[in-house]
Homo-oligomer: A and B are copies of this chain.
Amino acid sequence: MSASIQMAEGHAKAPALRVSREGLRTLLTWRRDVRRFRTEPLEPGLLDSLLDFAALAPSVGLSQPWRFVHVRSPEKRALVRKNFAATNADALGGYDGERAALYSRLKLSGLDDAPVQLAVFVDSDPEQGAGLGRRTMPEALFYSVIIAIHTLWLAARIEGVGLGWVSILDPVLLGADLEVPPAWRLVAYLCIGYPAEESDTPELERSGWERRADTPAIVR
């Protein structure tokens, strides 16, 4: 807690935010889903710092249901790669011709190069939070984990660290391979490391897959 924070009438007063509208826009614009990494390790302590940021995310009922598994051993990484290869082959089978070739070229995985790899799970039945807000929308637990990942992503960008979100995996198989408790469900597999290059254009857009729209669909 910053020393500049004042207490008044029992409530902490917010310090001046040191983030401008344009600052946030730049950060968001340059947050990229990185697929090509340099193999050198992160600076010592940096991963812990990024995880501290993740813990600042909001969570339903303050349940903090995120569970990060650091996948380090060559044996576990080989299982993840095998999972990806099988699942990717299935996904590829759903496209044909030009789309299939493009799909292959996209190099959807940084699994071979990223020095840090995290499997992120949601504890689907956490003790913390006492169930508040998730009786009618149990998926709110998942949402909390997603926001923790996004928070980690933004913090990583500030440190010049890239993050690639791999969703082409069999989640049940991955949980079994990593021997996590049965109540944990896979949310994401994250490849983290220094990026090989930077761009403000999504990789999928540069490669011709899809174009980003500027404004969201708003109705009424």
Q: Residues of A with Cβ closer than 8 Å to B?
A: 1-2, 5, 11-15, 17-31, 33, 49, 51-58, 60-64, 66-72, 87, 90-91, 94-95, 99, 103, 108, 123, 128-137, 139-140, 142-143, 146-148, 150-151, 154-155, 157-159, 165, 167-171, 180, 187-188, 197-202, 204-205, 209-220
| A47 CB, nearest partner CB in chain B, Å | 9
Name the contact of A28 in the complex, choosing from B53, B123, B131, B219 (C-beta under 8 A). B53
**Chain B, Cβ-Cβ closest to A118:** B218
Name the contact of A146 in the complex, choosing from B31, B135, B143 (C-beta under 8 A). B143
> Cβ of A14: which chain B residues have Cβ within 8 Å of it?
30, 198, 200
| This protein's copies in its complex | 2
**Cβ B219 vs Cβ A137 within 8 A:** no
**Chain B, Cβ-Cβ closest to A203:** B62
**Chain B, Cβ-Cβ closest to A165:** B58
A62 and B133 contact, Cβ closer than 8 Å, known pairs A17-B158, A28-B151: no
**Cβ A167 vs Cβ B137 within 8 A:** yes
Give bound CA distance, A73 to B69, whole Å.
46
> Cβ of A142: which chain B residues have Cβ within 8 Å of it?
139, 142-143
**Cβ B213 vs Cβ A136 within 8 A:** no
| A156 CB, nearest partner CB in chain B, Å | 11
Give bound CA distance, A198 to B214, whole Å.
32
**Cβ A99 vs Cβ B130 within 8 A:** yes
**Chain B, Cβ-Cβ closest to A132:** B209
> Cβ of A151: which chain B residues have Cβ within 8 Å of it?
28, 150
Residue with the highest number of chain B CB atoms closer than 10 Å, among A17, A165, A187 = A17
